Amino acid sequence: MEIAATGGHNLLMIGPPGAGKSMLAARLPDLLPPLSAREALEVTVIHSIIGQVPKGGLCQKRPFREPHHSASMAALVGGGQKAMPGEISLAHNGVLFLDELAEFNRVAIDSLRQPLETGEIIIARANNHIRYPARFQLIAAMNPCRCGYLADASRACSRAPDCARLYMAKVSGPMLDRFDIMIDVAELPPSELLSPSVAENSASVHRRILAAREFGAGRHNGSNSQVNARLSADQIDRHIVLAPDIKRLLEEAMTKQKLSARGFHKVLRVAQTIADLERSETLQRHHVLEALSYRGVLLSGPLPG
C-alpha cells in the first residue's frame, strides 16, 4: 500500500474474506498527499455537477469512491440522459475502489481500460460529445475463488482448484494488465490478531510517502505531483538507466512471465518507486526483483534470479 500510494500505482489485492483488503483500501486516502489548489478546483467542479459541493467551497479531501459491484457501465463511466459524470470522474485526483472485482459486470469493468490509459472519458451523444477528466488511482480487491477459501483445504469448496481458474477468468487479461501491483493478502493467524504489539500508524507512513515523492521530484522538473505511475515510455527511457545485469533480468522475466510491453513498463515504474522510497539515485537489481514479485501472483513460473 505504501508503494502504491507513493507512485500512484493501480493495485489489486487477492485474498480470503476477512483478510483486511477493504480496510487497507479505506486507509489509502490518508496516506496520499493533500490536494493541490488546482486539483481541489478540478474535484470541486466535477462534484458540483451532481450537487455535492461542501459548505466550505472547495473540496479539500481526495475523493474515495467505492461503487457496489452491481453498478452499471453508465454508473461507472458516466452517461444517462444528461450525460452526468460517473464514478471514474467523481474519483478524479483520488481513489476508485472496486471491492469484489470479479462480481462486477465484465463489460463495465473493461470500459475502465481506456480511461486508465488516457485519464479522461468521452461520453458521446447524438448532438455533442462531453469530455470528463478521469485520472484516478484504481484499487481493487477480490477473493481467490468463489467460496474465497482456496488456500484453506478445510474450508475450500469441492471444486477447488478449478473454481479458482474459472473465477479469475471473470476478469479479462487486458484489464488485469492495467494493474501495476497484484498481491496476495493472507489471512492473519489468531496469535497475530491477539498480539499486543502496536502497528505503525498512517501518519508515519504518510511522512515517508511525502519524502519519497520529494526525492523523485527532480525527475519531474521539481514537481512532486507527477507520480511514477504516469511516467511515459519516453520519460522511462530518459530517466531510468538500466545496468546490463538488470537488462538481462528483465529479458528473462519477460520471457518466463509473458510480460506485455505495458507490463514491462509497469515493472520499471514500480521499481522506480521502490528506489525512491529507499532514496536510491539508481535503479538496483533488488528494486526490479521486488517489482516483478508484485506481478507474480497471477503469472506462472518462478521469478528469475
Quote the pTM value. 0.89
Torsion on CA atoms 25, 30, 31, 32, rounded to nearest 10: 100
Are the beta carbons of 168 and 128 closer than 8 angstroms? no
Dihedrals phi, psi of 158, to nearest 5 degrees: -70, -10
pLDDT value for 83? 85
Q: CA 138: distance to chain centroid?
A: 4
- Count other Cβ atoms within 10 Å, centred on residue 39: 19
HEC states along 237-295?
HHHCCCCHHHHHHHHHHHHHHCCCHHHHHHHHHHHHHHHHHCCCCCCCHHHHHHHHHCC
Hey, where are the domains in the chain? 2-193, 202-293
Residue with C-alpha cell 497475530? 192
Q: What is the pLDDT along the chain (305 residues), one digit of tens a residue?
A: 999 999 999 999 999 888 899 999 999 999 999 999 999 999 999 999 998 888 778 888 999 999 999 999 999 999 887 889 999 999 999 999 999 999 999 999 999 999 999 999 998 876 778 899 999 999 999 998 877 677 666 666 767 677 778 888 899 989 999 999 999 998 888 888 788 777 788 899 999 999 999 998 877 665 556 899 999 889 898 888 888 999 998 888 888 878 888 889 999 999 999 999 999 989 999 999 999 999 864 434 444 44
pLDDT value for 300? 41
- At the top level of CATH, which class does the domain 2-193 belong to? alpha beta
pLDDT value for 298? 41
Nine cell digits for residue 285: 537489481
